Amino acid sequence: MGVDRSVIGKPTGAWKVTVERGPVMRFAEAVCDDNPIYRDVRVAREAGFAHIPAPPTFTFAMSFWGAFAEEQPPDPSGGQNPMHAIMGELFGKGALVLHGEQEFTYHRPVVVGDTLTGEGRIVDVYEKESGTAHMTFVVVETTWRDAAGGEPVVTERFNLIARLRTDAPAPAGD
């Protein structure tokens, strides 16, 4: 099908988030983790943390809780996220869009009180064929940095997959 690989390296967005105690506790509850380290400052400090740590994978969801509009950096994508453009076009053709792999590299723990800035960019786009479908993969990497010092804190990488059946009729309207 020939996906446009020129989007590799293009930004998908930028965010600034302050990690708050309530969302960290709610996230731990949502993932069914009852470890008191995510709720009790004393327990967290006894475990060697400066404050309550965020559970693993928290950074993928944190911008929904702690990104306040007036604190956000300019959007480097200019409001035109290339990942959304690719996936939107394929979805419009009848593709099933799935969140594939997800990986996190922690450079240090994320703790309550951190203010992090994140920048996402497309790092790869590729296609695969199966007997019944054409699949397009878009790989996005987001690096979250300490807002005060700029050091990396967490690097996230995820795969978004559009699966377009090749053995089924096109959706109505084509």
CATH number of the domain encompassing residue 150: 3.10.129.10
| Chain CA centroid to CA 56, Å | 13
Number of structural domains in the chain: 1
Residue 91 included in any domain: yes
Please give the share of the chain, as a percent, with pLDDT higher than 70: 95
Question: For residue 82, is it within any domain?
Answer: yes
**Residue 80, domain extent:** 5-19+72-165
Please indicate, yes or no, if residue 110 is contained in any of the structural domains: yes
Q: What is the pLDDT of residues 85-114, one digit of tens each?
A: 888 898 899 999 999 999 999 999 999 999
Region 66-85: mean pLDDT is 87
121 occurs within a structural domain: yes
How far is residue 168's CA from residue 110's CA, in Å, rounded to a whole number? 46
User: Is 155 a member of any domain?
Assistant: yes
What SS3 state is found at 169?
Answer: coil
pLDDT for the residue numbered 121: 96
> Is 145's pLDDT higher than 80?
yes
What's the rounded Cα separation, in Å, for the pair 24 and 41? 12
96 within a domain of the structure (yes/no): yes
Q: What is the pLDDT averaged over residues 136-151?
A: 96
List pLDDT tens digits, range 41-64: 999 999 999 999 999 999 999 887
What does DSSP say about strands 133-146 and 115-129: parallel, antiparallel, or unpaired?
A: antiparallel
- Alpha-carbon distance of 122 to 12, in angstroms, equals 7
Q: Give residue-wise pLDDT tens across range 110-120.
A: 999 999 999 99
Q: Is the pLDDT of residue 162 over 60?
A: yes
In angstroms, rounded to a whole number, what is the distance separating the alpha carbons of residues 17 and 115? 6
Residue 49's pLDDT is 97
Q: Does residue 173 sit within a domain?
A: no
Asked whether residue 49 is domain-assigned, the answer is no
Q: What is the pLDDT of residue 152?
A: 98
Q: What is the pTM of this model?
A: 0.86
In the block, residue with structure tokens 């590729």: 126
Q: Retrieve residue 84's tokens.
A: 């959304």
More confident residue, 78 or 174: 78
**Local structure of 7: helix, strand or coil:** helix
Q: Which pair of tokens denotes residue 22?
A: 């309530």
